[in-house]
Amino acid sequence: MNVTWEQAAFLGFGALTLAAALLVVFSRNLFHAALWLAATLTGVACIYVTLHAEFVAMSQMIVYVGAVAVLMLFAVFLTEDVVGQKSRRLRSAWVFALPVAVAVCAILLRWFSGYPWKPPASDHATDTAGVIGIAFIQRYLFAFELTSIILLAALIGAIFLAREEKA
């Protein structure tokens, strides 16, 4: 079986992403878990690059790694008594959580194994960012603008809920 460089890179990034995700779950320090989450999300972006989805990879880096992971790090730093403490030991919930996780993984593996995986029609996608940009401006303009209005309303609601009331 001949493995191309792209396939090897995909498998390598997949393995690194899986290892970082496991470190997120099993990390005892919340700050380290947030750092491993950023590494996991970066690994997902690298997988997107190997699949020739550059726009999605950049969106992943900007939105998730650049915003969500950094926001989580700030939340960890600003939360009192979290950075220096070790998280609590594993509890008895693992007795119930482990069989559920194994069952979900088995169901997903069975479901995905029955899917007819077909390679893409062409080796490389043409200008994906340009195609997505034109689709946003032409075909999906209403949905794009509606989403921005909903996000703005959520932001205003969050500011309203977070503000302190004056006595």
Q: What is the C-alpha R_g of the chain?
A: 21
Which positions ≥6 away from 115 have C-beta within 8 Å? none
Q: What is the pLDDT of residue 43?
A: 95
Instruction: Classify residue 62: in a domain, yes or no.
Output: yes
Q: What is the pLDDT of residue 82?
A: 53
User: In what helix (H) or strand (E) does residue 144 lie, and over which residues does it extend?
Assistant: helix 141-162
Give the global pTM.
Answer: 0.62
Task: Decide if 41 contacts 22 (C-beta within 8 A).
Answer: no
Instruction: Classify residue 59: in a domain, yes or no.
Output: yes
- Mean pLDDT over each residue of the chain, to the nearest integer: 81
Dist CA 18 CA 57 (whole Å): 17
Shared-domain flag, residues 81 and 131: no
Shared-domain flag, residues 82 and 10: yes
Q: What is the pLDDT of residue 48?
A: 92
Q: What is the pLDDT of residue 53?
A: 85
Q: What is the pLDDT of residue 28?
A: 81
Instruction: Classify residue 141: in a domain, yes or no.
Output: yes
CATH code: domain of residue 59: 1.20.120.1200
Shared-domain flag, residues 18 and 77: yes
Domain boundary among 86, 102, 136: 86
**Token representation of residue 82:** 């979290």
Dist CA 24 CA 14 (whole Å): 15
For 62-120, the pLDDT digits (tens) are 888 888 877 777 777 776 555 444 445 455 667 788 889 899 989 988 888 887 777 66
Domain that holds residue 163: 126-167
Shared-domain flag, residues 1 and 82: yes
For 10-68, the pLDDT digits (tens) are 999 999 999 999 999 888 888 888 889 989 999 999 999 998 888 888 888 988 888 88
Shared-domain flag, residues 6 and 82: yes
Shared-domain flag, residues 62 and 11: yes
Domains: count for the chain: 2
Shared-domain flag, residues 82 and 132: no
Residue 163 has pLDDT above 80, yes or no: no
Instruction: Classify residue 103: in a domain, yes or no.
Output: no
Shared-domain flag, residues 4 and 75: yes
